[in-house]
């Protein structure tokens, strides 16, 4: 009996259809999120990032950027420059604010100030290398940090998850007085980090692209160690650590390096998101159990106190 094999194109089509059926029928989350599983998120993010960085003709800036700002509710009164002075959509997203708009709360023992304008969407105590993403979904700090030394230094401490929407100010600032010890980057996926995703995609923050900045507390924050994890998302491929902390080096695509205890102060530049995303703030160190959050939900602005020693 002569056997004939199916044509390769037919086999590929069947496999593709099976994959589509799996994504749409058996992956978790709402149907819109399952559809996103079919979208090439990294390629799409690169294309959107490229388009957002293109310089706009001066005559187009106010009508196009103004419509975009109005759609998302961006407060242009806070922006450092007039709308027509931003050459691209990316420049508007990574805008600075007018001087003095985000004063830092006065220092207190153990005081940490918010690094971003955001909404606190999760908080709690770190136990057994675990934090909670949303709706009881756990993730592991050792995987979140990946290239950093042992995550056990955060055991018994606190985590705060701060979500930035497209309307928010997208620069990230130093939350404490201290000395920077390390920076790293983790290559990963680019799933959305909105409410639908955080409540449905297991280990979302472990899976997405991210950058990590860590510092030891000094002065009034002696006894703390803090990690700011900048989590990327769909169309937020750019997760940027400020050049000051890199010492003229570039972060590897998936790796990191120590920083020689560079001093840092609340409000200094830490990094930038290109579009909105999420910062997971980890509070550890020998005095972590003495630290208590003052805010565990709701909106917060850069410089407002998140917590301090009891």
Point out the residues that are catalytic.
Answer: 117, 173, 277
CA distance 143 to 131: 11
Strands (E), 16-157: 112-113, 118-125, 130-134, 137-140
SS3 153: helix
> Which phi and psi (to 5°) does residue 199 adopt?
-90, -5
Radius of gyration of the chain (CA): 21
**CA 22 from centre of chain:** 29
Phi and psi at 221, nearest 5°, equal -105, 15
Residue/partner pairs of 77-81 with CB below 8 Å, 24 or more apart: 78/169
Gap between the Cα atoms of 184 and 169, Å rounded: 23
Please calculate the CA angle 274-27-43 and round it to the nearest 5 degrees. 35
Nearest Cα residue to 288 out of 217, 191, 186: 217
């Amino acid at each position: 009996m002569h056997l004939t094999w199916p044509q390769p194109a037919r086999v590929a089509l069947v496999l593709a259809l099976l994959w589509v059926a799996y994504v749409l029928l058996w992956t978790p989350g709402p149907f819109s999120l399952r559809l996103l599983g079919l979208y090439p998120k990294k390629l799409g993010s690169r294309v959107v990032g490229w388009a957002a960085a293109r310089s706009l003709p001066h005559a187009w800036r106010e009508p196009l950027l103004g419509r975009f700002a109005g759609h998302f509710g961006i407060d242009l009164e806070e922006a450092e420059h007039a709308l027509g002075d931003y050459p691209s959509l990316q420049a508007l997203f990574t805008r600075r604010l007018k001087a003095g708009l985000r004063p830092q709360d006065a220092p207190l023992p153990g005081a940490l100030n918010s690094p971003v304008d955001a909404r606190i969407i999760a908080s709690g105590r770190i136990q057994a290398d675990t934090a909670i993403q949303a709706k009881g979904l756990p993730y592991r700090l050792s995987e979140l940090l990946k290239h950093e030394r042992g995550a056990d230094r955060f055991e018994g401490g606190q985590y705060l998850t701060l979500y930035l929407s497209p309307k928010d100010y997208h620069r990230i600032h130093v939350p404490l007085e201290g000395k920077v010890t390390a920076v790293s980057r983790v290559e990963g996926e680019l799933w959305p980090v909105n409410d639908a995703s955080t409540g449905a995609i297991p280990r979302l923050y472990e899976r997405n692209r991210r950058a990590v900045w860590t510092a030891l507390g000094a002065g009034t924050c002696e006894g703390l160690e803090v990690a700011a994890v900048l989590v990327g998302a769909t169309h937020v491929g750019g997760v940027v650590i400020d050049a000051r902390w890199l010492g003229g080096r570039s972060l590897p695509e998936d790796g990191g390096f120590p920083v020689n205890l560079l001093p840092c102060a609340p409000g200094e530049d830490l990094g930038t998101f290109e579009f909105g995303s999420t910062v997971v703030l980890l509070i550890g160190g020998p005095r972590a159990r003495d630290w208590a959050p003052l805010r565990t939900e709701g909106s917060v602005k850069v410089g407002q106190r998140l917590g301090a020693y009891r």
